[in-house]
Amino acid sequence: MSVDTRLEEPGVSGLGEVDEQEFSSLTERHRRELHVHCYRMLGSFEDAEDTVQETFLRAWRRRETFEGRSTLRAWLYRIAANACLDLLATRRPAPATGGEVLWLQPYPDRLLDELPTDAADDPEAVAVAQETIELAYVVAVQHLAPRPRAALILRDVLGWPAKDVADLLGDSVNSVNSALQRARAGMREHLPAERQDWTGGEEDAATRELVRRFTDASVATDVSALATMLRDDVRCSMPPVPGLHLGRDAVLTDWVDGGFEGMGPLRPVATSVNRQPAIAFYLWQESQHAYVPLSIDVLRVAGGAISEVVIFGPDRFPSLGLPERLSAEGGAA
């Protein structure tokens, strides 16, 4: 299923004569979707930023090679995919022994909302777009070898024909189809069996109420209340800290051992990342007379209960557009 198969810029037949300003005008409109593509490949918001910059640099240097045989958008995707593969060949480690992805970073929904939309999108296409940006999907993708990973994203997310993927990877169509089969099998091993109970729409009233209760119980540091909302098989991780905790008892024990119950006054700010509900928590610091960033809890809700909590540290607050601090009254300071 293709998320966005629009053909764009039919009038762009070549870039050899354009100046830097015009080149930037033509290419910058694709920055957000290229960034999301690189994020799916790499799992890191910051690495995706770097790779998009590298993509535009390579595109500028090679602009005379673009002659309009494909859309400019498709040409940029080819460069971005190869930039990701080059980075993965030199820098990306394998997931940790427990399966957690230590370099995982969240992607703010406010930036996902900048993606181009197609009025012809059907509900299935919208669902594919959401499911393939969820943290569970991004984590599962990181377990694949780079080239099957690229084939999977290009075919199943972007809807590229197998021949175009083969051309990009320098393989035969049969090789691409074989890699795709292996990638899909690998994804089934790592993806949750159930879809999450969250679309961001009005139909999410029950899930919104569960998130509200989780938020209130967290602010009250009420472990007993939190226990009633977690599934028996709940998972919790805190990238980049190693350690994946499986099961309600293990998760709650880790929180208690980490000093959760004795934590000072907290203030929550509701947000959303990777098309999932999230809560940013701020901790009161008397010395600064303000609430300062503590953590971001990203929730996955399935079957009416919380099935996964991924906790990110305060360094992620700026990229998510969250306030640097909150005043004693609770507003941005």
Residue ranges matching CATH 3.10.450.50 in the chain: 202-320
Q: What is the pLDDT of residue 3?
A: 38
304 dihedral zone (left: phi>0; alpha: psi -120 to 50; beta): left
Q: What is the pLDDT of residue 7?
A: 33
DSSP string, 83-130: HHHHHHHHTPPPPPTTS--TT----BHHHHTTS---TT--HHHHHHHH
Q: Point out the residues of the chain with pLDDT beneath 70.
A: 1-14, 16, 118-122, 330, 333
Contact 7/71 with Cβ under 8 angstroms? yes
Q: What is the pLDDT of residue 2?
A: 39
pLDDT digit string, tens, across residues 79-113: 999 999 999 999 878 888 788 999 999 999 999 99
Q: What is the pLDDT of residue 277?
A: 97
CA distance 291 to 332: 9
Q: What is the pLDDT of residue 36?
A: 97
Q: What CATH number does domain 202-320 carry, 2.40.128.20, 3.30.450.20, 3.20.20.60, 3.10.450.50?
A: 3.10.450.50
Contact 190/197 with Cβ under 8 angstroms? no
Contact 168/14 with Cβ under 8 angstroms? no
Q: What is the pLDDT of residue 117?
A: 73
Q: What is the pLDDT of residue 18?
A: 75
